[in-house]
Structure 1
Amino acid sequence: MVGVDFGTLSGRAVVARVRDGAELGSAVHAYAHGVIETVLPGTDVRLGPDWALQSPQDWIDVLRLAVPAAIAAAGISLEQVIGLGTDFTACTVLPTTADGTPLCFETPSMPHAWPKLWKHHAAQPHADRINALAAARGEAWLPRYGGKISSEWEFAKGLQVLEEDPGVYARAERWIEAADWIVWQLTGVESRNVCTAGYKGIFQDGSYPSADFLAALNPAFSGFVAKLTAAPSSVELAPLGGLAGRLTARAAEWTTLPEGIAICVGNVDAHVTAAAADAVRPGQMVAIMGTSTCHVMPSDQLAEVPGMCGVVRDGIVPGLWGYEAGQSAVGDIFAWFADTFTAGHSHERLTALAERQAVGQHGLVALDWFGGNRSVLVDHDLSGVIVGQTLATRPEDVYRALIEATAFGARMIVETFEKSGVPVEEFIVAGGLLKNRFLMQVYADVLRCPLSVIGSDQGPALGAAIHAAVAAGAYPDIQRAAAAMGQRTAAAYQPDQARADAYDRLYTQYRTLHETFGDGQMLHTLRAIRNEAGG
Structure 2
Amino acid sequence: MSYTLGIDIGTYETKGVLVDHDGRVVAQAARGHKMLVPQAGWAEHQPEEDWWGDFVFVCRAILEESGVAAAQIKAVACSAIGPCMLPVDSSGTPLMNGVLYGVDGRAVAEVRELTNRIGAETIIARCGNALTSQSVGPKILWLKRHRPEIYANTAHILTSTSFLVQRLTGEVVIDHYTAANFSPLYDVATQSWVDDLADDILPLDKLPRLLWSDEIAGHITAAASEETGLAVGTPVTAGTIDAAAEAFSVGVDQPGDMMMMYGSTIFIILCAANPVSDPRIWYAPWLFAGEHASMAGLATSGTLTHWFRDHMARDLDAAEAFPALAEEAASSPPGANGLLLLPYFSGERTPIHDVNAKGALFGLNLTHTRGDMYRALIEGIAYGTRHVTDTFAELGQKPTRLLAVGGGTKNRLWLQATSDITGIDQVVCDKTIGASYGDAFMAALAIGAVSRGDIAQWNPVSEFIEARPDAAYEENFALFRRLYEQTRDIAAALT
Compute the TM-score of the two structures, normalised by the length of structure 1: 0.86
2:171 counterpart residue number: 189
Alignment map for 1:239-278 (pairs within 5 Å):
239-278=212-251
1:320 partnered with 2:291: yes
| In structure 2, distance between residues paired with 1:468 and 1:324 | 23
Aligned-partner SS, 1:237: strand
Per-residue deviation, 1:411 = 1.1
1:66 counterpart residue number: 58
State whether residues 212 and 287 of structure 2, in contact with CA within 8 Å, keep that contact through their aligned partners in structure 1.
Answer: no
Q: How much is the aligned-residue C-alpha RMSD, in angstroms?
A: 2.1
Per-residue deviation, 1:137 = 7.0
Structure 1 residues 179 and 255, CA gap change in structure 2 (3 angstroms)? same
State whether residues 84 and 261 of structure 1, in contact with CA within 8 Å, keep that contact through their aligned partners in structure 2.
Answer: yes
1:531 counterpart residue number: none
2:494 counterpart residue number: 526
1:493 partnered with 2:465: yes
State whether residues 25 and 72 of structure 1, in contact with CA within 8 Å, keep that contact through their aligned partners in structure 2.
Answer: no
Aligned-partner SS, 2:7: strand
| In structure 1, distance between residues paired with 2:202 and 2:450 | 40
Q: In the TM superposition, what whole-angstrom CA distance separates every residue of 1:143-191 from its partner, at most 9, and x where no partner exists?
A: 722xx32224311211111111211111112111121121011111221
1:399 counterpart residue number: 374
1:530 counterpart residue number: none
| In structure 2, distance between residues paired with 1:311 and 1:77 | 41
| In structure 1, distance between residues paired with 2:120 and 2:302 | 37
2:400 counterpart residue number: 425
| In structure 1, distance between residues paired with 2:289 and 2:194 | 26
Q: What percentage of residue pairs aligned between the two structures are identical?
A: 23
Q: In the TM superposition, what whole-angstrom CA distance separates every residue of 1:195-243 from its partner, at most 9, and x where no partner exists?
A: 110134442222668545325xxxxx254433223xxxxxx52011111
4+ residue segments displaced more than 6 Å: none
Structure 1 residues 125 and 486, CA gap change in structure 2 (3 angstroms)? farther
Out of 48, 55, 58, which is 1:57 matched to? 48
Structure 1 residues 246 and 143, CA gap change in structure 2 (3 angstroms)? closer
| In structure 1, distance between residues paired with 2:16 and 2:465 | 29
Mind listing any 5+ residue stretches in structure 2 that lack a counterpart? none
Aligned-partner SS, 2:98: coil
1:171 counterpart residue number: 153
Aligned residues, how many? 484
Deviates more, 1:280-289 or 1:507-516: 507-516
Structure 1 residues 294 and 142, CA gap change in structure 2 (3 angstroms)? farther
State whether residues 239 and 265 of structure 1, in contact with CA within 8 Å, keep that contact through their aligned partners in structure 2.
Answer: yes
| In structure 2, distance between residues paired with 1:390 and 1:205 | 54
Structure 1 residues 487 and 380, CA gap change in structure 2 (3 angstroms)? farther
State whether residues 338 and 344 of structure 1, in contact with CA within 8 Å, keep that contact through their aligned partners in structure 2.
Answer: no
1:480 partnered with 2:436: no
2:7 counterpart residue number: 4
Out of 320, 325, 342, which is 1:350 matched to? 325
2:486 counterpart residue number: 516
Out of 274, 277, 296, which is 1:301 matched to? 274
| In structure 1, distance between residues paired with 2:29 and 2:110 | 39
Q: Could you tell me which amino acid in structure 2 is paired with residue 510 of structure 1?
A: F
Structure 1 residues 316 and 153, CA gap change in structure 2 (3 angstroms)? same
Alignment map for 1:62-461 (pairs within 5 Å):
62-103=54-95, 113-118=96-101, 119-135=103-119, 138-141=122-125, 144-145=128-129, 148-202=130-184, 203=186, 204-206=188-190, 211-215=195-199, 221-229=200-208, 236-308=209-281, 310-313=282-285, 315-345=286-316, 346-461=321-436
Structure 1 residues 282 and 327, CA gap change in structure 2 (3 angstroms)? same
State whether residues 153 and 200 of structure 1, in contact with CA within 8 Å, keep that contact through their aligned partners in structure 2.
Answer: yes
| In structure 1, distance between residues paired with 2:278 and 2:31 | 38
Per-residue deviation, 1:140 = 4.8
| In structure 1, distance between residues paired with 2:300 and 2:368 | 23
Q: Could you tell me which amino acid in structure 2 is paired with residue 338 of structure 1?
A: R
| In structure 1, distance between residues paired with 2:21 and 2:88 | 35
Structure 1 residues 333 and 361, CA gap change in structure 2 (3 angstroms)? closer
Out of 505, 514, 527, which is 2:475 matched to? 505
Q: In the TM superposition, what whole-angstrom CA distance separates every residue of 1:450-504 from its partner, at most 9, and x where no partner exists?
A: 111133232100011111112222135xx234334334335x211224xx33311
Structure having the higher strand fraction is 2
Q: In the TM superposition, what whole-angstrom CA distance separates every residue of 1:323-375 from its partner, at most 9, and x where no partner exists?
A: 11000110111111221233434222221111122212521112221111111
Mind listing any 5+ residue stretches in structure 1 that lack a counterpart? 39-47, 104-112, 216-220, 230-235, 528-535
| In structure 2, distance between residues paired with 1:133 and 1:522 | 28
| In structure 2, distance between residues paired with 1:509 and 1:435 | 28
Q: Could you tell me which amino acid in structure 2 is paired with residue 337 of structure 1?
A: F
Structure 1 residues 274 and 361, CA gap change in structure 2 (3 angstroms)? closer
1:44 counterpart residue number: none
State whether residues 470 and 481 of structure 1, in contact with CA within 8 Å, keep that contact through their aligned partners in structure 2.
Answer: no
State whether residues 208 and 225 of structure 1, in contact with CA within 8 Å, keep that contact through their aligned partners in structure 2.
Answer: no
Per-residue deviation, 1:269 = 0.3
Q: In the TM superposition, what whole-angstrom CA distance separates every residue of 1:41-99 from its partner, at most 9, and x where no partner exists?
A: xxxxxxx3222221122222223221121133234333321011000100222101133
Per-residue deviation, 1:434 = 0.8
Per-residue deviation, 1:413 = 0.8
Compute the TM-score of the two structures, normalised by the length of structure 2: 0.92
